[in-house]
Structure 1
């Protein structure tokens, strides 16, 4: 944003400076040229007036020669011609004589308005000596254009300096303005990113920037504070529930163990059934707490070597699979690095492999694999068990969504929450030939091809 604001203001200032400075410089240049021509014509007319007294009235050429000397001291070259276009007098320099000067004299003697040309850095001017219609002669004055060029160059130099100063001031102003506007927004963006990554104490600075940005930062801080209080409150509830439920369950299991020590017959059977229900209730409590923790997860992404984690979890579950007569294996895949919260991939695979081993009968097969699909790391767990109906798959990711689940019915809910909170996606598909396949698309780590 800082660059966009700066470049926009610079472009606007540049256009305004061009539209203001260039026309002004052009106008001043034209005025200087007109003033220079007027001064040259005035000097020419002074010589022409003195020449008329000599050519028309027959007076001595003293005044005419004095004017020519004055022109020579000023650095001009002048020549006086009679009615027959013959040179009568001139300054020591001969720049006012030649073909171009003679053409001007002929135009003047014919009563025409000449168009003086510029000859090798000199400007020529011609005036009639006497009446315009019947001149007694003509005067040609050549003046160097160096003073005019110097004045024009000075005008354009000052114009360029003014434009550069205006552009420099615009740069300073635009940079300060851009930082004043974009700086607080960038800080707010960093705070929002930190909050999204799990830093619940992240707050934005409310002291800088425009009033609208300060109000936005204040609103963000209020939202962050409420979110932090809500999350901490939920975590406290989970901790309390974990303590308050597990302790009575452990005590109840201990009492049942004591009662079952000397029990026989139907009493022993009932006590064993009660122990199984206590164990099931313990697993249910653990599952509910796991779902609650997953729903409150605000992960900070870390690098996860997908292939290494898959191989590690398959190796960890292999003894359980062998005990149940199930073939658990992994398919080879590329080396991929995903961006997920610490330990989330392990927890996801543990739940999926546990569900698959529960569903697959003896002699069945469970396969875990991964590969690159677009900009995601695709991981799947495929089994050849009984599969799921379309109705069951539609609600499988909800708590206790699958009424036919052999476990607590919370494993897929935990998986769905952990995958989606990390920016991924998960879905259920039918395995070719029968069974269920859980497919997950996990975000790649930044820079992963």
Structure 2
């Protein structure tokens, strides 16, 4: 952004300088040329007036020679012609020749000639006497070097002024661009850190234009409310978790004590009550897991998919073997690294494998494969179980979305929340030949940032699920 603002201002200033300096320099150059020509013509008329006294009135040529000598001292070359020949001239012969004779002929005919520029000199011709019937003509040749020097000075100073103005514009543009963009860059970095889970992140409200300061203040207000909301929800989850688990555990213990001394009929009823309490406990755990997933604000870390998949397949292999299910990880293809919160990929795979193990009959298989796409990594968990109806797939990621689910109906909801909070997507597809495939699109790690999180951290034992 700094470069764009600076370049825009520099280009705009350059255009304005060109539109202002160049026409001014052209105008000054034209004025210098006119002044030089007028001065030359005035000097020629002075000599022509003195020559008229000699050519028309027959007076001595003293005055004419005096003016010719003065012109020679100034560095000019002059020549006086009558109607047929050269009468007098300065020692310099630049005012003589074919071009001078053509000018004299035009003057003697009563026409105003177009003085040419010859070999760095400017020629001027004036009649001596009446313009319509002149007694002669005077030609004066003056060097154009002083004029060229003044014109070069005009353009040189114009270039210096333009360059100085452009340099000042560059400095001011860079400072202005930084003044505007630096607070925005800081605000962008603060927003990114807040999105990565640094809830106490705040933006600087003391720099930049007033609009940016108000934006930073608004961001800080939003960040403070978000922090308070997340901390409040976390506190509620912790309180609910404690308040629900404790009475359920106490109730289960009482039923165990009652079942120990009960008769057969009562023991059966107590066993059914214990099963319902266990189901209620699993439901509470699932709801708390969904709530934690919804309130998660992960800090992305580099997670190697192949390491996590291999570890989870090893952990779930005994459960799958016990039920006669083949659980494998496809080792082909690339091994991408994704950006996810620590432990999230493990929790996602645990829920997907648990659902697949419950759904696939004995003799079936579950396959986990992965591959890298353009900006994402694709992970697929395929099974050859009974699959899921189309209508059920549309609501499967909601809480209790599938009324036919064998478990709590919260596993896919947890998966969806964890995937989306990490910037990915999840969808359900039919497996070729029958079954269900869960497709996860996860963001790739940009090879920068915090330390890697290649493996699981304090994961639950799948046998206890």
TM range (shorter): over 0.9
For structure 1, list consecutive stretches of 5 or more residues without a partner in the other structure: none
Question: In the alignment, which residue of structure 1 is the partner of 2:312?
Answer: 313
Stretch moving more, 184-193 or 386-395: 386-395
| Separation (CA, whole Å) in 2 of partners of 1:195 and 1:174 | 31
The reply on whether 1:217 has 2:213 as its aligned counterpart is no
SS at match of 1:260: helix
- Taking the aligned partners of 1:390 and 1:432, their CA distance within structure 2 comes to 15
Q: TM-score scaled to structure 1, two decimals?
A: 0.96
Equivalent residue for 1:351? 351
Alignment partner of 2:260: what SS?
coil
Match of 1:404 in 2: 404
Q: Give the distance between the partners of 1:209 and 1:15, measured in 2 at CA.
A: 28
1:115-137 deviation digits (Å, cap 9, x = unpaired): 11111111111111111122211
Provide the secondary structure at the position in 1 that maps to 2:268: helix
Distance of 1:208 and 1:374 partners within structure 2 = 38
Give matches, 1:36-435, under 5 Å: 36-84=36-84, 86-331=85-330, 332-435=332-435
RMSD: 1.7
Per-residue CA deviations over 1:208-253 (Å, capped at 9, x if unaligned) read: 2222222222111111111100000000011111112222222233
Quick one: distance in 2 between partners of 1:366 and 1:264? 44
SS in 2 for 1:200: coil
Per-residue CA deviation, residues 275-303 of structure 1 (Å, 9 max, x unaligned), is 32332222222111111110011222222
- State whether residues 335 and 372 of structure 2, in contact with CA within 8 Å, keep that contact through their aligned partners in structure 1: no
In 1, Cα distance between equivalents of 2:443 and 2:184: 27
* Residue 312 of structure 1: how far off its partner (Å): 1.7
Tell me if structure 2 keeps the 8 A contact 1:314–1:330.
yes
Cα distance in structure 2, aligned partners of 1:392 and 1:74: 107
* Structure 2 CA distance for aligned equivalents of residues 334 and 321 of structure 1: 26
Equivalent residues, number: 447
Cα distance, 1:264 vs structure 2:
4.3
Aligned equivalent of 2:32: 32
Aligned match of 2:455: none
Task: Tell me, in whole angstroms, the C-alpha distance in 1 between the residues paired with 2:55 and 2:363.
Answer: 135
Q: Gapped runs of 5+ residues in structure 2? A: 449-465
1:257 to partner: Cα distance: 3.0
In the TM superposition, residue 436 of structure 1 has moved relative to its aligned partner by 1.5
Moved over 6 A (4+): none
Q: Deviations over 1:323-369 (max 9, x none)?
A: 11111112233221222222111111100001110111111111111
Shift of 1:374: 4.3
